[in-house]
Amino acid sequence: MTDERRMGLGALTDVVGPERVVGIPVGEVTTLAYDSRAASPGALFFAVPGVHVDGHDFAVAAVEAGAIGVVVERELPELPVPQLVVDRARRALADAADAWFGRPSERLTVIGVTGTDGKSTVTALAAELLRAAGRQPGQIGTVFTGVGGLLVPNEERNTTPEALELQQLLARMVVAGNDSVVMEATSHGLALERTRNCRFDIGVVTTVTSEHLEFHGTVENYRAAKARLIEEAPIAVLNADDATFGYFRERARDRVITYGFDADADLRADGLEADAAGTRFRLVAPSWQGRVRIALPGRFNVSNALATLAVGEALGLDLEHSATALRETTGVPGRMQRIEAGQPFSVIVDYAHTEDSLRKVLEVLRPLTRGRLIAVFGSAGERDPTKRGSMGRVAANLADLVIVTDEDPRLEDPRAINEEIADGARSAGADDGKTLWVIDERRDAIGHAIGLAVRGDVVLLAGKGHEASIFYGTEKRPWDEAGVARQALHDAGWTKP
């Protein structure tokens, strides 16, 4: 990572605090790198172990590219540069990046949002809330990255960046005049210490079910990773309705603000009125009570709005003004996004990619569907395989027609993944060729769903949402779910803008 900064290798050694040093750490560091391809003369290279590759295998290449030192977890033989031997190279990278970029989080109010579902929506809504209150928030998340006043799509498929890129983003925000940042804090980002030195002021927990067990191993490890956020942040915003509330309440560092539909929550919603255009409810909060409207359907989006308003409560914002600001927001792309081309049925694009999120979206759409509810979805390869069958069962129980298709199969066999999902649907009564289809090619699956749809039906395209790519093997292919849906509608004869 090249910029104008420079630090002495000795000074960075003090920051990293290695267990031992091989060689004499002298010289001027001009850049930090954890990818040997980004190493250049004057670099300090961090040998970070990864899922598929180990940075230690590329240390020689980094030195050949000009690295003047390496940070390693085990001593490497015959390297002609100093080696800083540490317990965890990722932690060392996070500490070095923080120092390199001048500890930027100390000049920002940092709000972290974690949970299985709802992170992107709460992050977007909270940033809107801060802007409405006259703040200048930055934003880091699955869908968007915002620096200064510019919001751009995140096309990296990495919600929480590696520590080096994350600290650089925070530093750019400080320079651009941001006074705060709302960021998604994923379980990976927390467990791998990418978020180390972000110095969270507020930690928000949405819903926590089960996800990414391919990485964490157990649900307990998954929860523990997310708990790191509120163990650090002095203010925790917790979902009183979630089954894991007690777990996170016990681990909160200091002040806790609760939200939910439960009567004991600090901020609670009652009197819900929902339709296809949005939801209205009455907010009861310590600092204000009144009616709130959001242009987002579903009880789960009311929960997301409550989490956002709880952030406002934590910051001492005027909640009546905040509620007015929420009325104007439409959420984020790929979250309950309607695709309109004049067709007499509805097409909805949503990011739901877990059993819980798929159930919630289908439960929202079910009462709004006059005809049949058609669900198109898949499950990602090299991700938690235990959710595949259960997602199939949920879809078969709540939708009328189920179409199983590819969703980032990566290095797994797409048909094998899809059959695991389909078997779950079959176990719940789905009938091949009548209420169940397995169509691996996602574009064809979407076309088939739209071809089946008639007046009053609702077609849900779940799992990809905003994502601009789909992975087959190691190939990253361009993808636009909303665009594919529009093209399928056009091909079916629906062309009205």
- Counting every residue, how long is the chain? 497
Residues 425 and 462 in one domain: yes
* Within-domain flag for 435: yes
Residues 195 and 76 in one domain: no
Between 170 and 386, the higher pLDDT residue: 170
Virtual torsion, Cα 310, 224, 138, 206, nearest 10 deg: -40
* Within-domain flag for 97: no
* Within-domain flag for 187: yes
Cβ within 8 Å of residue 348, ≥6 positions away: 336, 337, 338, 339, 361, 365, 458, 459, 460, 461
Give tens-digit pLDDT for 476-487: 999 999 999 999
Virtual torsion, Cα 164, 169, 170, 172, nearest 10 deg: 130
Residue where a domain terminates, one of 328, 354, 384: 328
Residues 275 and 171 in one domain: yes
Residues 212 and 132 in one domain: yes
Between 116 and 415, the higher pLDDT residue: 415
Residues 381 and 424 in one domain: yes
Residues 214 and 299 in one domain: yes
CA distance linking residue 295 with residue 292, whole number of Å: 10
CA gyration radius for the chain? 24
Please say whether the beta carbons of 407 and 464 come within 8 A. yes
* Within-domain flag for 286: yes
Q: How many domains does the chain have?
A: 3
* Within-domain flag for 98: no
Q: What is the DSSP string of 153-206?
A: E--SS-SS--HHHHHHHHHHHHHHT--EEEEE--HHHHHTTTTTT---SEEEE-
Q: What is the CATH number of the domain that holds 54?
A: 3.40.1390.10
pLDDT band at 3 (very low <50, low <70, confident <90, very high): low
* Within-domain flag for 188: yes
DSSP for residue 50 = -
What average pLDDT does the structure give for the chain?
A: 92
pLDDT at 245: 95
Mean pLDDT on 99-118? 95
Q: What is the CATH number of the domain that holds 197?
A: 3.40.1190.10
Domain that includes residue 397, residue range: 337-491
Which amino acid is located at 151 in the chain? L
Give tens-digit pLDDT for 320-371: 999 999 987 766 777 888 899 999 999 999 988 889 889 989 998 998 899 9
Residues 482 and 441 in one domain: yes
Residue where a domain terminates, one of 293, 328, 363: 328
Cβ within 8 Å of residue 427, ≥6 positions away: 389, 392, 393, 396
pLDDT at 212 over 60: no
Residues 73 and 182 in one domain: no
DSSP for residue 251 = H
| Phi, psi (rounded to 5 degrees) for 479 | -150, 145
Between 72 and 211, the higher pLDDT residue: 72
112 strand-pairing partners:
183, 203
Cβ within 8 Å of residue 179, ≥6 positions away: 108, 109, 135, 136, 137
| Phi, psi (rounded to 5 degrees) for 113 | -125, 125
* Within-domain flag for 226: yes
Please say whether the beta carbons of 113 and 126 come within 8 A. yes
Q: Which two tokens stand for residue 384?
A: 């938690």
Give tens-digit pLDDT for 147-200: 998 888 777 656 678 999 999 999 999 999 999 999 999 888 898 999 999 999
Residues 144 and 176 in one domain: yes
Residue where a domain terminates, one of 36, 63, 92: 92
In the numeric block, the tokens 């590759």 are attached to 53
pLDDT band at 2 (very low <50, low <70, confident <90, very high): very low
Q: What is the pTM for the complete model shown?
A: 0.80
Residues 244 and 357 in one domain: no
Cβ within 8 Å of residue 105, ≥6 positions away: 98, 170, 181, 197, 198, 199
Between 52 and 307, the higher pLDDT residue: 307
Beta strands (DSSP E) in 120-160 are 137-140, 144-147, 150-153
DSSP for residue 71 = E
Residues 315 and 218 in one domain: yes
* Within-domain flag for 395: yes
Residues 314 and 411 in one domain: no
